Amino acid sequence: MTDYSGLLSRLARRAGADEPPAPHGLPAPLSPTRIAEAEQRLGFALHPLLAAIYRDLANGGFGPEYQLLSLVDGPTSEQAVDCYAEARAEYADTEWAWPEGVLPILTWGCGMYACVDCRSDDGTVLLFEPNPGDPDLAWWIDSPSLAAWLEHYVDDTGWWVKAEAGEDIDEMAPWPHARDRATS
């Protein structure tokens, strides 16, 4: 089992320093029982780092731009488990079918999501970008690992920072597994 305590400490410091601060601080972490119930509903285990975040740090409410979604029982109307279930149901049997095991964790707005491939060892972070209108061009590899993606948040080095500064961000590789995983 990997020790994520150092990264979780850096995340907590960064989340506490974000502006504007959450009105009542970070949402309380989830109990192991609530995480197990969420995994049961999803039909797969969370990536271990993602589980550690929800169990040991907070139930979302921090991160780049619109912040990490709550896993369940969050203060906002949109939660990761619900987003996944809705996407799987809404797009089933279409060319837009949502890949199995790919959990939305953050909305970028305009239908775009940061998602964690919970079936990958490193928790690959994917960008779902449907706006070009082509399902074969909707999935991109944002970061090879969830840990690296979170380090980008901590260090302000993510593509979202570059985009806000007006820099070109066309550096993501397409994720070739979307169609295969959608039929799993």
pLDDT given for residue 163 in this prediction = 85
Domains contained in the chain, number: 1
Q: What is the DSSP string of 58-86?
A: -SS--SSTT-PPBSSS-SSS-BHHHHHHH
Provide the residue range defining the domain that includes 150: 5-182
Predicted pLDDT at 184: 56
Residuewise pLDDT in 10s, the chain (184 residues): 689 999 999 999 999 888 665 566 889 999 999 999 999 999 999 999 999 999 999 999 999 988 999 999 877 778 999 999 999 999 888 999 999 999 999 999 999 999 999 999 999 999 999 998 899 889 999 999 999 999 999 999 998 888 888 887 767 899 999 989 987 5
pLDDT of residue 78: 86
| pTM recorded for the entire structure | 0.94
CATH number at residue 51: 3.40.1580.10
Using CA atoms, how far residue 139 sits from 59, 63, 88, 99, 116, in Å, is 26, 21, 15, 10, 12
CA 63, 162, 110, 81 dihedral sign is negative
pLDDT at 120: 97
Residues 6+ apart with CB under 8 A from 133: none
Q: What is the pLDDT of residue 73?
A: 87
Closest CA to 46 of 102, 128, 108, 7: 102
Q: What's the angle, vertex CA 108, arms to CA 107 and CA 114, rounded to 5?
A: 60
What does the pLDDT read at residue 1? 61
- The confidence score (pLDDT) of residue 128 equals 96
Q: Which pLDDT value is given to residue 58?
A: 94
Which pLDDT belongs to residue 165?
86
Rg (CA), the chain: 16
